[in-house]
Structure 1
Amino acid sequence: MAKNRTGRVAEQIKKELSLLIQSELKDPRIGFVTVTGVDVTNDLSQATVYLSVFGDEESKQNSLKGLDKANGFLRTEIGKRIRLRHTPELIFKIDQSIAYGSRIEKLLSDISEEHEN
């Protein structure tokens, strides 16, 4: 039953963070950011937020810095919107799975081209 609750809390945090980053944050360092996933610990003390950032490595790092700076604001707003006893600590990480998937896709297409020739 606890797994079910953490999953629901993670999805709600993901939804609220997406809305907050899009509409409430005015930091110019934060570029085009998409929240791809949220992992919450079993005791709901920490939430790891996975982000996909459009742009080069510098824009990814700038977006992470801006989000880390706005961490307190985001946590406060999530606490207001989601009724939890303790709001989880937010940890932001860049999601590498999209880049990894595109690399695998490129390798597979290279192999199929090689096989056809």
Structure 2
Amino acid sequence: MARKPSSPGLPSQRQLRAGEIIRHALAELIAREDFRDPELAGVLVTVGEVRCSPDLKRANIFVTPLGDDTEAGRTRLAGALNRAAAFLRGRLGREIELKFTPELHFIADKSYDEATAIDRLLSDPRVKRDLE
């Protein structure tokens, strides 16, 4: 039986499945780990999404700190997690059952800001009038 090629630019089922496995494991790992870095000590982290490369050897992890939704707070958190990426990758390798543990790259998640901006735009009286 021939495999149906995935749409160009869209992640495969394998990438999506691996991303979710990594997301759940990292969220638990970050929550229970005691970090030496003062920027990570006591910070609650939301792991919003994990995007894996097609070969699953690289993972981009979108993170945001709970309670500090500023751009500077997100950027500081991503930087601190990138400094701890090798440590987290080692711990993650013991938690997940993938052939390779991907290289971790943390990115400040801006999707919540974008969703808020869209909500604000949709609640504008002029836009509501046009939608009705």
Q: Please tell me the TM-score bracket, short chain as reference.
A: 0.7 to 0.9
Is 1:6 paired with 2:15? yes
State the structure with bigger RCO (CA 8 A, min sep 6), 1 or 2.
1
SS in 2 for 1:44: coil
From 46, 51, 55, the counterpart of 1:43? 55
Contact 1:48 1:93 in 2 (8 A): yes
TM-score scaled by length of structure 2: 0.75
Contact 1:53 1:94 in 2 (8 A): no
Match of 2:73 in 1: 59
* Structure richer in helix, relative to its length: 1
User: Aligned letter for 1:33?
Assistant: V
SS in 1 for 2:123: helix
Match of 2:38 in 1: 28
Query: In structure 2, what is the Cα distance between the partners aligned to 1:42 and 1:70?
Result: 24
Root-mean-square deviation over aligned CA pairs: 2.2
Contact 2:77 2:108 in 1 (8 A): no
Q: How many residue pairs were aligned?
A: 115
SS in 2 for 1:18: helix
Structure 2 residue runs without a partner (length 5+) = 7-11
Change (3 A) 1:78 1:111: same
Q: CA deviation at 1:113?
A: 8.3
Query: In structure 1, what is the Cα distance between the partners aligned to 2:13 and 2:122?
Result: 36
Q: CA deviation at 1:112?
A: 4.9
Change (3 A) 1:113 1:16: same
